[in-house]
Amino acid sequence: MALLFSRSRALLLALLVLFAASAQPAVAGTGSVQLLEQWLQQTRSGSADFTQTVSNPKGPAQAPAAGRFAFERPDRFRWDYAAPYRQVIVSDGRQLWTYDHGLDQVTITPVTQAFKGTPAAIFAGADLKRLFTLTSQPDAGGLEWVLATPKSKDSNFDWIRIGLRSTPQGPEVAELQLRDAFGQVSTMRFSRIERNPALPAGSFHFTPPSGASVIHQP
């Protein structure tokens, strides 16, 4: 079950970069890049249901996953996986908790170590153009697409594709695709999207359940 998180780690870190980033005043952005910049400027927090698939040239690489996601800038997020295994991943900006229900095990990692060697190490307050080369791509599937290519040579993924949708309330991120260094493509689709909701107090804190084994990683 721990494999579910390890295989999704690059996607989760990339999402953290995206959702934690701040946008500079829009200047040269055009098309979908400008739409992404508008979303960054207007969105401080959010939540959504998600489905996640991972595939490679040979087909599906793991069972589809589903759950609920929430974030609050600049550095807090929560993933509640409901299927195929129950798992909770929470960051308060200082510590990252990963709780595997099946193993009844909590792993606690300092955020600086969890994100070491990834673009997420400098996510707080950063803007995407500092981390990525952003390129507008043709519309597809009813979405406007941006290709984000990491500028860091140490990145553990090749690119992220960000699918955006215009709504009366403003743009929203509806789909994300990421190709990792092994050629696997992770796709995450969002539904029941809420932008700038009033999230419950304590959403980004985690207390290990009584009796659970707790592992502290340096």
Q: Is residue 214 part of a domain?
A: no
Task: Collect the ranges in the chain with pLDDT lower than 70.
Answer: 1-30, 59-61, 112-127
**Is the residue at 50 inside a domain?**
yes
3-state secondary structure of 126: coil
Domain assignment present for residue 128? The answer is yes
Q: Quick check: is 30 in a domain?
A: yes
Q: Is the overall model pTM greater than 0.75, yes or no?
A: yes
Whether 218 is covered by a domain: the verdict is: no
Number of domains the chain contains: 1
DSSP code of residue 200: P
Residue matched to tokens 């709780």: 99
Q: Is residue 43 part of a domain?
A: yes
Q: What are phi and psi of 200, to 5 degrees?
A: -60, 145
Distance of alpha carbon 204 from alpha carbon 91, whole angstroms: 6
pLDDT tens by residue, 125-163: 456 777 788 899 999 999 999 998 888 777 778 888 999
User: Which uninterrupted H or E stretch holds 45?
Assistant: strand 45-56
Peptide bond preceding 74 in cis form (omega within 30 of 0): yes
Q: Give the contacts of 209 (CB within 8 A, at least 6 positions apart).
A: 99, 104, 106
Place of tokens 């060697």: 117
Range of the domain at 150: 2-198
CATH number at residue 149: 2.50.20.10
Q: Which residue has the tokens 């995450």?
A: 188
Q: Is residue 38 one of the residues assigned to a domain?
A: yes
